[in-house]
Homo-oligomer: A and B are copies of this chain.
Amino acid sequence: MTRVLVQRLAIIGAGLIGSSVARAAREKHLAASVVVADADPEVCERVRELGFADVVSQSAAFAAEGADVVIVCVPVGASGAVAEEVGPVLKHGAILSDVGSVKGSVLDAMALHVPAHAHLIPAHPVAGTEFSGPDAGFASLFENRWCIVTPPEEAHEAAVEKLCALWQGMGANVEVMSAQHHDLVLAITSHVPHLIAYNIVGTAAHLEETLTSEVIKFSAGGFRDFTRIASSDPTMWRDVFLSNREAVLEMLGRFTEDLTALQRAIRYGDGQALFEHFTRTRAIRRSIIEQGQETAAPDFGRLAAGKPKHEQS
């Protein structure tokens, strides 16, 4: 049985994640009232048509005023500006959170603007698809996905528990860790994989035109799903790389060193080194399957819990 956890839930930004939070909160009756704000009037209009919010506004401050929980669902580069806008209207005991893929820089950017009587508790649901906008969201996006909550050291315990309960109510499994540790783990599990996917698709795009068209034609040999990742929202990912620069550069450095060693093995025909490397990586795969982190339908962690309407067939 779910229960109303929040009287007024404000969601700032009605993209894939924001609109999924709104849908999940309504479907699971987690909030008495769901208020959605988006700076783009066309998005607001579409949210009204889709009908997943009780109140729709272009003003983040209007949405946040009187809210028990405010979840900022904008690209991480914009979260500081949103915090600046909503900070002054946050009520006593309000929770201000976000959904960004980077946590250290977001915490820094938002903390300045949060009054002492409110609680800043950043979070990151590890879920998404390569689609964007209010039409792309769906209520089951977070089911059985991890949501990582990164409270600052001095965080109010009851507020952390309330935010965790909200994400659990949306079906997520919650893990609490420091923002810094989050950023390191996500650099290798998500940020660098996205960067190399963007990169190889870019490399293919630079080939002579005839070859590029054949690359598209014969993309099923492995390349294709890199293009899926590499069609994710450019603004969001630009901000991720700029905001998690240190950890991404650290992991990218290791990746490049390792790739250079494989390249060298290929150049000098060292079959034994290649074979050993390719055998070791199987163990990681086995662990993922053992821990139930794999689904029968491989999907880059995107759609296992449900599909956006336009992908259903």
A positions within 8 Å CB-CB of B: 77, 101, 126-127, 145-146, 148, 175, 184-186, 188-207, 211-232, 234-235, 237-239, 241-242, 245, 248-249, 251-252, 254-256, 258-259, 262-263, 265-267, 269, 271, 274-275, 277-288, 291, 293-294, 296-302, 307, 311-313
- Complex contacts, A278 vs chain B, CB 8 Å: 198, 230, 232, 234, 237-238
Does A127 lie within 8 Å of B220, measured CB to CB? Answer: yes
Question: Among A184, A225, A278, A312, which residue has the most Cβ atoms of chain B within 10 A?
Answer: A278
5 more A-B contacts (CB under 8 A) besides A203-B254, A220-B301?
Answer: A126-B218, A186-B221, A198-B262, A219-B288, A256-B259
Separation in Å of the A273 CB from the closest CB of chain B?
A: 9
* Complex contact A227–B275 (CB within 8 A): no
Cα-based distance from A186 to B221 in the complex (angstroms): 8
Please give the count of copies of this chain that the complex contains: 2
How distant is A147 from chain B, measured CB to nearest CB, in Å? 11
- Give the docked Cα–Cα distance between A287 and B211 (Å): 14
Judging by beta carbons under 8 Å apart, are A202 and B281 in contact? Answer: yes
Secondary structure type dominating chain A contacts: helix
Contact status B274-A242, CB under 8 Å: yes
Contacts known (A300-B222, A301-B224); A201 close to B284, Cβ less than 8 A: yes
Instruction: Write out the residue numbers on chain B whose beta carbons fall within 8 Å of the beta carbon of A175.
Output: 217
Query: How many angstroms from the CA of A241 to the CA of B283 in the assembled complex?
Result: 21
Residues of B within 8 A of A313 (CB): 296
Whether A189 lies near B281 (C-beta < 8 A) is no
User: A275 to B235, Cβ gap below 8 A?
Assistant: yes
A269 touches B242 (CB 8 A): yes
Quick check: B228 and A298 within 8 Å, CB to CB?
A: yes
Chain B residues in 8 Å Cβ range of A288: 216, 219, 224, 227
The answer to whether B284 touches A220, judged by C-beta atoms less than 8 angstroms apart, is no
Identify A269's interface contact among B188, B199, B245, B281, CB under 8 A: B245
B301, A299: Cβ atoms closer than 8 Å: no
**Pair B222/A194 contact, Cβ less than 8 Å:** yes
Contact across chains for A311 and B293 when beta carbons are under 8 A apart: no
Of all A-B residue pairs in the complex, the 3 with the closest CB atoms, nearest first, are A220-B301, A190-B221, A234-B278
Among A206, A217, A219, the most chain B Cβ lie within 10 Å of the Cβ of A219
In the assembled complex, the Cα of A266 lies from the Cα of B187 at a distance in Å of 13
Expressed in whole angstroms, the minimum distance between the Cβ of A266 and any Cβ of chain B is: 5
Q: Which residue of B lies closest to A213 (CB)?
A: B287
A227 near B186 with CB under 8 A, answer no
Q: How far is the CB of A250 from chain B (nearest CB, A)?
A: 11
